[in-house]
Amino acid sequence: MTYKTLLRHAEKEIEKSGLELEVAKFLLMHFSNKTAAQFYLDFESEVDSKIEASFLKALEDYTKRFVPMQHIMGYQTFYGYDFIVNNDVLIPRRETEELVENVLYFYDDYFKGQQVDVVDIGTGSGCIAVTLSKEEDKMTVYASDISDKALEVAKKNNEKLGGNVSFRQGDLLKPFQGMKFDIIVSNPPYIPSSEDVEKIVLLHEPNIALFGGDTGLIFYERILKDALNYLKPNGLIAFEHAYDKNEEIKALVNHYISGAKITQIKDLSGKDRMTFIKVGE
């Protein structure tokens, strides 16, 4: 088959499964090791039999066993870096790239090039912590996760990408008792326990990284309850959260941290997705 006919075949199979059609193109580009430009230049060319076999096996994994594209390829690109992902960690999402970008903006605005200590709570693949350490060398970055298996992945990513993150195993902020930070950042599990989740997510991403209790807010409350014990004067807390939890997050902040300056930011889709809390202003 040509790349064109193989792609059209794959799209038909994916359409039957109700999954994302774009995955066909990305997987075919991955297995043929072609850029987008090369792929379309060779659109009418015959596909090597080994490439075709590997691609068709991956297509079956995706459409029949609901294996995520990122797990098939073994990585997810995040902020320009290719992060190893598997069943032990959440696949990094585009919204979290926006969280990282905004943390860097707030750093420039509030800390103006000073050396700062940063901690990423519930690091998963390490995408937030490693990216911050790569993008801003004035940040001394720490990260925690309760899952040993997730930390194994995060450490591999840190080494592979040349990050400079110190990892600790444990529950939220507890591994850092006695330490204080300029910035606490977290994208904790925030799906309510009763909410339906796509099969492809539920089967292959760790539940511990998805669900945040009955309301989806349990981890935000726990972090905010302890935050002042771990935050330096004039520190910053940065959260990613569900699009419909703005007011609840704001109420939790006001309950646990009086007088904080709260800034809430929409993502590129126009959904309320991030809350930044400046303490001491």
Using alpha carbons only, what angle is made at residue 134 by residues 128 and 140, rounded to the nearest 5 degrees? 80
pLDDT tens for residues 97-142?
Answer: 999 999 999 999 999 889 999 999 999 999 999 999 999 999 999 9
DSSP 8-state code for residue 110: I
What's the average model confidence in pLDDT over 25-35?
Answer: 93
Query: Is the confidence at residue 207, as pLDDT, over 70?
Result: no
pLDDT tens for residues 77-98?
Answer: 999 999 999 989 988 999 999 9
Using alpha carbons only, what angle is made at residue 115 by residues 111 and 118, rounded to the nearest 5 degrees? 85
Using a pLDDT cut of 70, give the percent of the chain over it: 91
Residue 86 has a pLDDT of: 93
Instruction: Count the neighbouring beta carbons within 10 Å of the beta carbon of residue 259.
Output: 8
Write the CB contacts of 251 (distance below 8 Å, at least 6 apart in sequence).
none
What's the average model confidence in pLDDT over 203-228?
Answer: 77
CB 165 within 8 A of CB 158: yes
Write the CB contacts of 53 (distance below 8 Å, at least 6 apart in sequence).
none
Query: Is the confidence at residue 191, as pLDDT, over 70?
Result: no
> Higher confidence at residue 133 or residue 259?
133
